[in-house]
A = this chain, B = another copy of it.
Amino acid sequence: MKTKEHKIPEATIKRLSTYVNYLGRLGTDSNPVISSEILGESCQVSPAQIRKDLSYFGEFGVRGVGYDTKKLEAEIKDILGINHNWPTTVVGVGKLGQALLNFDFFRNHGFRIITAFDSDPNKIGTEAANGVTIQSISNIEKCVREEKISIGIITTPVAAAQDVTDKLVDGGIKGILNFAPIKVKVPETVTLRNVSITSELDNLAYLLTQKKR
């Protein structure tokens, strides 16, 4: 992979994620090769867009032929870095936290959940769905440091989100995926992504309202 020095649009990264997802399913033995046109149909992206997205990172296809399905999948995984194995923790073991603890694809996307935290005394000490023991929020900093946890996933209520973030940061966390509908603050050294389900809801509401007029 030869990464070029251009700045990559975030939309490109999002689409690469889609491509790799479909490549995993399309890449049967009967489809060893795939063209940007066919992949584009599945992903609902124009062929030119796919080629442009890939061109930021190098040349992966064969002109006149197309892309080796399995090889392209591996290349994109390499670009995205989902072949890593980051020690991960989930903070907030409500329904959403439990859902995430159960998601198989965490493992397939480079994350290994090794601990979970909650503030509810009834939950602390019990085992979460995938065999991980739930610990007290007050242990976060110590545990993150000792277990060298890289990624924190926040699924607490809004009120706790910033406090929990600070504890993760103090422990030396590298990245945070925040599901609480608040923009938590982190130092520049920490990578942060906010996932806002409420904003998706609002967006849908907006689109529907528009259509009615």
A interface residue numbers (CB < 8 A to B): 3, 10, 13-14, 16-18, 20-21, 42-44, 79-82, 84, 86, 94-96, 98-100, 102-103, 105-106, 109-111, 129, 150-151, 174-175, 177, 181-183, 191, 193, 195-211, 213
Partner of A208 from the list B129, B175, B195, B206 (CB cut-off 8 Å) is B175
The 4 closest A-B pairs by CB, nearest first: A81-B209, A95-B99, A17-B202, A17-B199
- Majority SS at the chain A contact face: helix
User: How close is A213's CB to chain B, nearest CB, in angstroms?
Assistant: 8
Q: Are B94 and A99 in contact (CB under 8 A)?
A: yes
Partner of A95, one of B14, B98, B202, B203: B98
Cα A193 to Cα B129 with chains together (Å): 29
Shortest CB distance A32–B (Å): 22
Interface residue from B100, B109, B202 paired with A205 (Cβ < 8 Å): B109
Is B198 touching A109 in the complex (CB atoms < 8 A)?
yes
Q: Are A199 and B111 in contact (CB under 8 A)?
A: no
Residue pair B202, A82 in contact (C-beta under 8 Å): yes
B206 engages A13 (CB within 8 Å):
yes
In the complex, which of the residues B82, B105, B198 contacts A17, with contact meaning CB atoms closer than 8 Å?
B198
CB pair B202 A109 closer than 8 Å: yes
Instruction: Identify which of B16, B99, B177 contacts A99 (C-beta below 8 A).
Output: B99
Give A12's nearest chain B residue, CB to CB.
Answer: B206
Is the CB–CB distance between B201 and A109 below 8 Å?
A: yes
The 8 Å CB contact of A201, one of B10, B79, B94, B105, is: B105
Query: A181–B103 Cα gap in the complex (Å)?
Result: 12
Q: Are B110 and A205 in contact (CB under 8 A)?
A: yes
CB pair A183–B18 under 8 Å, yes or no, is yes
Complex interface: chain B residues within 8 A of A209 (CB): 80-81, 84
